[in-house]
Amino acid sequence: MKTIKTFIILLLFPIIAFSKDILKGYVYDAQKQPLIGASVHWQNSKTGVITDEKGYFEIEGTPHQDHMLAVSYVGFEDKVVHIHDFAEVQNIVLSESTELGEVVVERTPPGTIKSRTSLLQTEKITKKELLRAACCNLSESFETNPSVDVSFSDAVTGAKQIQLLGLAGTYVQTLTENYPNFKGAASVYGLDYIPGPWMESIQISKGAASVKNGYESITGQMNVEYKKPNDADPLSLNLFASDAGRYEGNADAAFILNDKLSTGVFLHYSNEQAAHDDNGDGFLDMPKKHQFNMMNRWHYMSGKYASQFGIRFLQDYRASGQTMHSLTAASINKEPYEISVKTNRGEFYTKNSYIVDEAQNGNIALIFTGSYHDQKSMYATDKYNVYENNLYASLMYETGLGKQHQLSAGVSMNLDKYNQTIRLSRPITHQPDDETTTGGYVQYTFNKDDKFIALAGLRTDYSSLHDKVFVTPRLHLKYMPVAWLNLRASAGKGYRTVFVMPENSYYLAGSRKIEIADNLKQESAWNYGTSVSFHLPIKGEELTISGEWYRTDFDNQVVTDVDSDPHAVRFYNLSGKSYANSFQVEASYPLFPGFSILGAYRWTNAKTNYGGKLMKKPLVSDYKALVTASYETRLKKWAFDLTAQFNGGGRMPTPDAVNPLWKTTFDSFTILNTQITKNFRRWSIYVGAENITNFKQKNPIVSPENPFGNDFDATMVWGPTQGRKFYAGLRYAIGK
């Protein structure tokens, strides 16, 4: 018997001797905050890994010989951990260095993190990435991001919208602190309502999202996280000025009142009153505007109970239109064509959670939010006022069911109510102005050692406006056969109710008739996606290559048709096909210490049936290429950033066949941005330039010489309306 045992051991010895296992763990600071980009390696090896946005790492090792794990992070003391059991998840806490001499930065954590562990295809834009550009508000936070485009809705009001997967931002569910926000009327100017210095991070997930936050996500979700008072700097200041006459000030302060309660105060003021008409068309290139924005949030934690609550108030005024000197002698006695938009907005929210089962991580959470949005608009002689109320409530329960299973369930309610005052020189159909949606969901997650994860979600809701019950199924799969390869796939359905005028009021900046069909249906679409990402170790660094493809297929869509009639915009239910394909490849690599480069290319093919003819969506670029380069000196005293955007051409709305006032297509164009930052101990200064090539769309306004005529249209925008801009700013912070 002993002979047999000895023979088996000798037979298996080569396998045992050279077999490798994967050690998993997390790296934290003393406050249990994850350390992103910490270096982890075996003492007898020169290669290693870095931690992700959760401080998580996985490293291969040979159990019989690898026992000493070395962990290091800039500003913290190095630590060596003796590994006794490879099956045990390591929780490693680093202590801050009490004295720093000259520090050589070997690795700089990336500004945009694509999570390896997340089931969904998610990008996290961190505070580091937000500092690479002026980033005065949310709309200016995507200059270095290849996935999200931001474009002007028109050439006079300054309204902006994002595009994701080839479709407008209305198909992206916008969240703040993981609850739905900025819907309806607020979606038109909402990207300007979140100051950049307030944000801690932005998470962008593509394709079908989780059913937890509702049914509205069709092409993806965008969630904004504000700075948290329990771990933010006690005081942060940001001052900004540009040669275009824009001035901005931001301040936020965090107060830890005791070991359970903390609060944060946020203030913002911006002013842009300079008049610019660089193309000489007689209209301001950008509106004159000023904004006051304040928020107060609280964080309470005691034992198993945690609570967050806050309030916010915003005033946003903007004025634009025709300049007095542009009036001709024949029209000198007429009033100029002027536009004004005045908005007052208030929000409140409360989020509460309680742990009911620590062993299974069982918890129950309640979210309750509300907002009012009071917007008064004048477009020459046309008047459009809208008062919007929103209430949202969600009750959720989550629990583990053993090591590999997790269950989540909940119920929710959403109320949207509009009070509109419309006085137009053209007739318009009355539209519904309120909807209450109630529903519930269940979601199951299976996790096999983080190598294979499957998530299946199903929710059922009832709409009072459409008087129907609708079902939202979603499925996500992730497979990681080896540590350097991730495969993901997703499929799911999304729904959306369209309130035409609140969401499309910028079409009043023109003479197009607004024709809205009766009985508009609820929009619904399927989204399918797949992605692959490689994380390849090369010369002690990591080359990341990813590719993805997504397709959105509409069962029904409220079509925005500016093709059938060059003097009208029509909204009607889809008859025929409407779809969008998006393919993107991306690669990033730190070429040498402190220097990183990213390159990406995205191709888009979005088509819709307009008046019986399947055509490409107008004003959408066929492709986008992006190259970003970033360099930090060894002590992080200087930072240099350069971004190049190469935007493809596309299709214009169909012009009048008898009197064509614009071309049928637009050309490709390039945008260059750069910024230089000088860092000191507590403060930094930065200078930069946007649109260095001074590219501007020629004649973004159709027939500006006769704004009261039938041809006037300010919504034919496909590129920048302003040229080169220079800016400078100062940041100051008292570190925690």
For 4, 6, 12, 19, the CA distances from 9, given in Å and listed in that order, are: 9, 5, 5, 14
296 pLDDT tier (thresholds 50, 70, 90)? very high
Domains in the chain and their CATH numbers? 18-93 (2.60.40.4130), 121-734 (2.40.170.20)
Res 116: pLDDT: 72
Residues whose CB is less than 8 angstroms from the CB of residue 559 and which lie 6 or more positions away in sequence, other chains included: 570, 571, 572, 573, 574, 578, 608, 609, 610
318-346 residue pLDDT tens: 999 998 665 554 444 468 899 999 999 99
Closest CA to 94 of 79, 113, 110: 79
Residue 137 DSSP code: B
Q: At 411, give phi and psi (nearest 5°).
A: -130, 155
Q: What is the pLDDT of residues 586-635, one digit of tens each?
A: 999 999 989 999 999 999 999 999 989 999 999 999 999 999 999 999 88
Mean pLDDT across 451-466 = 96
Q: Is 50 helix (H, G, I), strand (E, B) or coil?
A: strand
The structure tokens listed for 340 are: 């004004």
pLDDT score recorded for residue 245: 93
CB 343 within 8 A of CB 314: yes
Q: What span, in angstroms and rounded, lies between the C-alpha atoms of 270 and 671?
A: 25
Distance CA 45, CA 387 (A): 64
- Over residues 689-705, the mean pLDDT reads 94
Beta bridge partners of 407: 399, 444
Rounded to whole angstroms, the Cα distance separating 406 from 361 reads 9
**Rounded Cα–Cα distance for residues 52 and 86 (Å):** 20
Predicted confidence band at 108 (pLDDT cuts at 50, 70, 90)? low
pTM value is 0.84
* Range 124-145 average pLDDT: 87
Q: What is the pLDDT of residues 395-450, one digit of tens each?
A: 999 999 988 999 999 999 999 999 999 998 888 877 889 999 999 999 999 999 88
CA torsion 273-278-281-284 (nearest 10°) is -10
For 480-497, the pLDDT digits (tens) are 999 899 999 999 999 999
CA distance 132 to 675: 7
3-state secondary structure of 170: helix
Strand partners, 289: 272, 318
| Radius of gyration (C-alpha) of the chain in whole angstroms | 27
Quick check: 13 pLDDT over 70? no
pLDDT 10s digits, 79-92: 888 887 777 888 89
- Helices and strands in the chain, H and E counts: 4, 44
Average pLDDT over residues 99-116: 54
Rounded distance between C-alpha atoms, residue 225 and residue 126, angstroms: 10
pLDDT given for residue 122 in this prediction: 84
- 14 has a pLDDT exceeding 80: no
- Cα–Cα distances in angstroms (integers) from residue 513 to residues 321, 387, 400, 425, 524, in the given order: 19, 23, 56, 9, 27
**223: closest CA among 165, 173, 186?**
173
Q: How far apart are CA 631 and CA 37, in angstroms?
A: 16
